Structure 1
Amino acid sequence: MTWTAPRIERRRAPSAAGERAMLQGWLDFHRDTLLTKCAGLTGEQLARAGTPPSALTLLGLVRHMAYVERVWFRQRFAGEAVEALHCTEAAPDADFDDLDPARAEADHAALIAEIAACDAVAADRDLDETFTATNGRTLNLRWVYVHMIEEYARHNGHADLLRETLDGETGS
């Protein structure tokens, strides 16, 4: 049986909430939006580039966001000694380039697991807690949330176009 990405119940972004709930709510909404754009597609479809000459794929976006979640929340903010997902110094774009439709289910599950791990790392931490980024800048957890919302929002625009090209499905 061919695996297809499962349908999920996309959470609504909050319309009135405190700062922490607002940031978490918008991040969850955008995370769910990417997974919604993948729902119902097979690994082969997820790995198919939709808009030549670009090689961008939905599976590449899933892998990239798992990588970015881990880097910002777990490695940089929390200082966890966990390996980067997919990418290495020798293959810095492996999240986008090293695609295998047969691994799509595992890649999808890796994003969901990484989201849970990142939420656990940030759950009881203060938004004002700082860390030093690789470029020497001092950033705080609030910055990570805003950056991740921006990262997902930008890539969800790509996901909209990719999904429409694959099967004509559009949506918010």
Structure 2
Amino acid sequence: MTDDRVSPAFIADERAMLDSWLDWHRETLAVKCAGLPEERLRERSVPPSSLSLLGLVRHMAHVERVWFRRVLDGEDVPLLYSKAEDPDSDFNDVDTASVEEAFAIWRAEIEVAREISARVPLDAVGRQQRHGQDVSHRWILVHMIEEYARHNGHADLLRERLDGAVGE
């Protein structure tokens, strides 16, 4: 696996620290997917789970969009996948999903998220509530780090099962 990640600094201000850890985790998912053919990216972990590396990429694109564009920025953008029909469609609908498109959408959502995040103070409250609660930008960044960290653990196990590749 090619690993071009930039490790977060040991000493930085709060904003730089949060941004660098989030970017490191974003790139960790990319590293876990690197070099695999499409059929391996679609491969499920173990029944009955529908978890796959491609599903994780699609899920994280959805999560980036919801937290940064919808909640933090208040943008009225549609969800990426048919969540009303199947709440887990980002994970479940990978058999015919375009791998190239999924990665392009994920990368595009990351770029929009970075742009939004860069212009909003950490103490800013999102323009849209989540589950009836106000949410700060700082909370969103910490949550995104947690979300990626959790799913990168899944990605690590998936990748090891697929071809034995391991790593941080």
Same fold by TM-score greater than 0.5:
yes
Match of 1:107 in 2: 102
What percentage of aligned pairs have identical amino acids?
51
Match of 1:160 in 2: 156
List runs of 5+ in structure 2 lacking aligned partners.
none
Runs of 4+ in structure 1 over 6 Å off: none
Q: TM-score, normalised by structure 2?
A: 0.94
**Structure 1 position 8, deviation (Å):** 5.9
**Structure 1 position 85, deviation (Å):** 1.1
Equivalent residues in 2 for 1:2-41, closer than 5 Å: 7=2, 9-41=4-36
**Could you give the per-residue CA deviations for residues 107-139 of structure 1, whole angstroms, max 9, x where no partner exists?**
011111110011011111100001242322121
Decide which of 123, 148, 159 is 1:128's aligned counterpart: 123
Match of 1:88 in 2: 83
Correspondence 1:118 to 2:113:
yes
Q: Distance in 2 between matches of 1:78 and 1:149?
A: 19
Match of 2:40 in 1: 45
List runs of 5+ in structure 1 lacking aligned partners.
1-5
Q: Distance in 2 between matches of 1:116 and 1:87?
A: 23
Q: Distance in 1 between matches of 2:4 and 2:10?
A: 18
Instruction: After superposing the two structures, state which structure 1 stretch, 148-157 or 127-136, moved more.
Output: 127-136
SS of 1:37's partner is helix
**Aligned-CA RMSD value:** 1.6
Q: Distance in 1 between matches of 2:11 and 2:62?
A: 30
Q: Distance in 2 between matches of 1:99 and 1:144?
A: 27
Aligned 8 A contact 1:27 1:148 in 2: yes
